[in-house]
Amino acid sequence: ELERRGHRFVRYADDLCVFTRSGRAAARILKSVSSYIEKELKLEVNRTKSEANRPWKSKLLGYSFYRKKGGEVGLKVARSSIAKYKAKVRTITSRSKPYAMYKRYEKLRQLNRGWVQYFKLSEARSVFRDLDEWVRRRIRSCYWKQWKLPSTRIKMLAQLGTPEWQAYQWANTRKGYWRTSGSFILNSTLNSSLLKREGYLSLNELSTLHPVLF
């Protein structure tokens, strides 16, 4: 029916996007296609997912779109997909959960592998780097929580190469867990290289690998 009407469209199962030249045409087509689906095919249209909008304000299968230089349109990860990813990471890295760190790393590797495999078509790769920085900060916060006592923090910071006087000073900071996790204190000790050795497999690294390798 869409082909008969001359519409440009893309579909996957029952998810569908129709592309038009104007907002007025989009609203008109949305109304007529919805009517056809419900009256002729006797199917129910999901009104919460159906909308007439700009490509970069909509999403399909977790992806959204953005305008590139030169006027072309590229694929990116939708904001709602990023929010869902962060919610899963928050659960894995929750300081209230008694997970051992190796278990957290294991769960994060599983999550990141699946996420990158699904969103590997995204052309806006900066989202992988930005999310990696955020996840590392969550991980650092977990370490700081586990070390809890100032004496333990001094010991662990010293083992990571911090001078004793500085370790004592940092271990007695009054900053909260999240604020400390983003400070020079932990960024310089629990750096990206160390977290990688400990077991963090980053989104950005995975996105550069051939699918067979992960």
When pLDDT is averaged across residues 58-87 and rounded to a whole number, the result is 89
* Beta carbons of 143 and 186 less than 8 angstroms apart: yes
Residue 87: partners with Cβ closer than 8 Å, 6 or more residues away: none
Amino acid at the residue 82: I
Q: Report d(CA 73, CA 62) in Å as an integer.
A: 16
Residue 50: partners with Cβ closer than 8 Å, 6 or more residues away: 30, 34
Q: Is the pLDDT of residue 21 over 90?
A: no
Q: What is the pLDDT of residues 140-180, one digit of tens each?
A: 999 999 999 999 999 999 999 999 999 999 999 999 999 99
Q: Report d(CA 88, CA 80) in Å as an integer.
A: 13
When pLDDT is averaged across residues 118-141 and rounded to a whole number, the result is 94
DSSP labels for 19-52? E-SSHHHHHHHHHHHHHHHHHTS-----TTT---
Q: Report d(CA 1, CA 13) in Å as an integer.
A: 16
Three-class SS of residue 147? helix
Q: What is the DSSP letter of 60?
A: B
Quote the tokens at residue 37: 């689906």
Amino acid at the residue 172: N
Whole-number CA gyration radius for the chain: 24
Distance linking the first and last C-alpha atoms of the chain: 41
Amino acid at the residue 188: S
When pLDDT is averaged across residues 92-106 and rounded to a whole number, the result is 91
What are the Cα distances from residue 163, in Å, to 66, 135, 146, 173?
47, 27, 21, 16
Q: Which pLDDT does position 213 carry in this prediction?
A: 43
Q: What is the pLDDT of residues 35-60, one digit of tens each?
A: 999 999 999 998 888 888 887 778 88
When pLDDT is averaged across residues 76-92 and rounded to a whole number, the result is 95
What are the Cα distances from residue 76, in Å, to 68, 89, 118, 127, 128?
11, 20, 12, 9, 11
Q: What is the pLDDT of residues 64-74, one digit of tens each?
A: 888 888 878 88
Q: Is the pLDDT of residue 111 over 60?
A: yes
